[in-house]
Structure 1
Amino acid sequence: MNRQLAEQFAELDLSSHWEFIQNYTEAFKPVYICSQNLQGSHVSLSDFYITWLIAIGKVRRFHKNPLAIKLAETLQSRFSKLRLSQAFRMALYMDPRLNFVNSAIFNVEEKELIQGFITETWNRICRLNNADANAASSTTTSSSSDAMDESDSYITELFGGFNYY
């Protein structure tokens, strides 16, 4: 029946394209699985890193597949650009599955830079917390209380409850 359809409609005859279709599905299946794994739930940056590395490794196994060779190069290129991000590197550094004694992910210089970035980030957070605390203490209690009363009244009214104020 398929041959009859192919004879009637030449555009349905895919016999000359099977090699490409097989190469395509073989090369992109690991990337598809990677995408599915990353879309399932919240994924940390280190889990993303591990999942991406597994996909690259699987794609590289297809040495005779011309699509897989180019795809592996592209995945590695994008991955190299992502690794330049200090936030990404910090997330990898903080994960003990990746950063352990004698781990080859970071050299000594990279570890020092990441540690400096972590310290700098912590200092910024502390400064922000101090600024927030100072701003909160400078406002008057009554105006803060009035704003809370208005918010509570609005939310109560919105959800059809009783307003006790």
Structure 2
Amino acid sequence: MKIDIATRMERSVLGINIQYIKDYKVIVHTIGMIETTKRHTAANLKEEIMKCLNEYGIGINQIYSNTTDNGANVVKASKLLHDMQQESLANEDAINDVEADHIESQIASVFSVVRCAAHTIQLAAYDVIKTIEKDLEECRTIVKKLRTLVRAGNTDISLPFIDNRTRWNSTYDMMESLYRIKEYIENLDKNMYINWSFVKDFLTAFQPISKCTLKLQNEQYIIGDFFRDWLTCELELADLVPENIYADSLLNAMKIRKNVLLEYKAFVAALYLDPRFNFEETPLLSSEQKDVAMDHLIRTYEMIQKIKNPSEYENDCTSGVVPHTTQDNELPSTSKGAYHKLTLHVRSLAKSQSATRPIVKPDIKQKLVNLCVKEMEPFDTNVLEYWRKFYRNESIDNKIKF
């Protein structure tokens, strides 16, 4: 699920998108464009989101992750949704304390609040832009004057673009439009001083991140594609560092923001399932990150199984356990060993405890482990198509074995 709030001309709209994969294609539906009249508190936002989900018959337990910007109210609303999902699962059955602890840890891993990719890039850009705001303001002032002159003079040049400070890429567009009419400005009789070295260095440093931002607009764009383009942007900035005073700051800002992204379990799990990043001896995922991803994916699998068929899932969890039965006329026997009764007691406790932790079929975990020993796929690979072929080939292999 993705949520965002836009405010224009004193009107606020809450947008709610649902994204999923069907037939190996990313599908996005806008299920809500809600004009909000109440204060944008977390509780009010949660209420509107739940109304929208209920209208479409979407249960809170079906939400895998919630993508948001960095707004405190939106993040808090996501936390309230997380708590609601946790409470919903806990209330499904009468549970003991051990089961409650398990459910709590399970939900905390599965329901993820992930920062929007575009917003993360914007934050990295702002980390640098705020250090050069004085120079940008001087350019902004010149642009405003030029817009007045161009309108009054009926010239053939393009009207320079004025930026929106809440959208860093619009600042890039402003600087680019200014640089395009450099010759016109220099031929003006008006006394307009522009630091063209600053303009050029700004455009050169921010061009890689601008290209990365534009790629986010692709329709079939997954986490691995974004991470690929992010790393490409880092390499391009690294090449600019010796000659550009802003490239190094921007590169460091991107690395810091990247580390924050890699703290999200859903993000790391997506990279784990991407053969461009997870392969034998990959330098892109640490052993710890692989363990986190596997744990998250297994928990997600457990959740999906429970949602699909709760009764069958519970049977699966206890299958393979052969209970010890005692005949009514069976008498205690020392021939079974002095600790036979204790053994039965411990096995009974273990069985009771294991029932609170669903048992995952070994082949699921093994399949995840096997992903680490495959060869690296090219970075232009269509990963969704890769998985389509993977499952088709696996299905054929299973039929042959059968």
Answer whether TM exceeds 0.5 for this pair: yes
The CA deviation at 1:36 is 1.2
Alignment CA distance shift 1:132-1:62 (3 Å): farther
Alignment counterpart, residue 128 of structure 1, candidates 304, 307, 317: 307
1:80-159 alignment, distance < 5 Å: 80-131=259-310
Separation in structure 2 between the aligned mates of residue 60 and residue 41 of structure 1, nearest angstrom: 29
Q: Tell me which amino acid in the other structure corresponds to 1:120.
A: R
Alignment CA distance shift 1:9-1:81 (3 Å): same
The CA deviation at 1:113 is 2.3
The CA deviation at 1:130 is 2.1
Secondary structure in structure 1 of the residue aligned to 2:259: helix
Secondary structure in structure 2 of the residue aligned to 1:50: helix
Q: For structure 2, which runs of at least 5 residues remain unmatched after alignment?
A: 1-183, 313-402
What percentage of aligned pairs have identical amino acids?
A: 26
Separation in structure 2 between the aligned mates of residue 35 and residue 4 of structure 1, nearest angstrom: 34
Question: In structure 2, what is the equivalent of residue 44 of structure 1?
Answer: 222
Separation in structure 1 between the aligned mates of residue 246 and residue 291 of structure 2, nearest angstrom: 39
Q: For structure 1, which runs of at least 5 residues remain unmatched after alignment?
A: 134-165
Cα-Cα RMSD: 2.0
Question: In structure 2, what is the equivalent of residue 162 of structure 1?
Answer: none
The CA deviation at 1:40 is 2.4
Separation in structure 2 between the aligned mates of residue 129 and residue 107 of structure 1, nearest angstrom: 33
The CA deviation at 1:131 is 4.5
Secondary structure in structure 2 of the residue aligned to 1:66: coil
Which protein is richer in strand relative to its size?
2
Separation in structure 2 between the aligned mates of residue 54 and residue 4 of structure 1, nearest angstrom: 39
Alignment counterpart, residue 60 of structure 1, candidates 238, 257, 265: 238
Deviations 1:55-108 (A, max 9, x none): 111012112312111111111111110011100100100011111111112232
Separation in structure 2 between the aligned mates of residue 52 and residue 3 of structure 1, nearest angstrom: 37
The CA deviation at 1:127 is 1.0
Which protein is richer in helix relative to its size?
1
Deviations 1:20-55 (A, max 9, x none): 011101101111111111212231001100001101
Question: In structure 2, what is the equivalent of residue 156 of structure 1?
Answer: none
Secondary structure in structure 1 of the residue aligned to 2:240: coil
Alignment CA distance shift 1:43-1:132 (3 Å): farther
Question: Higher mean Cα deviation, 54-63 or 83-92?
Answer: 54-63
Alignment CA distance shift 1:131-1:70 (3 Å): same
Separation in structure 1 between the aligned mates of residue 200 and residue 249 of structure 2, nearest angstrom: 16
2:198 paired with 1:20:
yes
**Count of aligned pairs between the two proteins:** 128
Alignment CA distance shift 1:127-1:72 (3 Å): same
Q: Tell me which amino acid in the other structure corresponds to 2:256.
A: S
Q: Structure 1 segments of 4 or more deviating over 6 A?
A: none
The normalised TM-score by structure 1 is 0.71
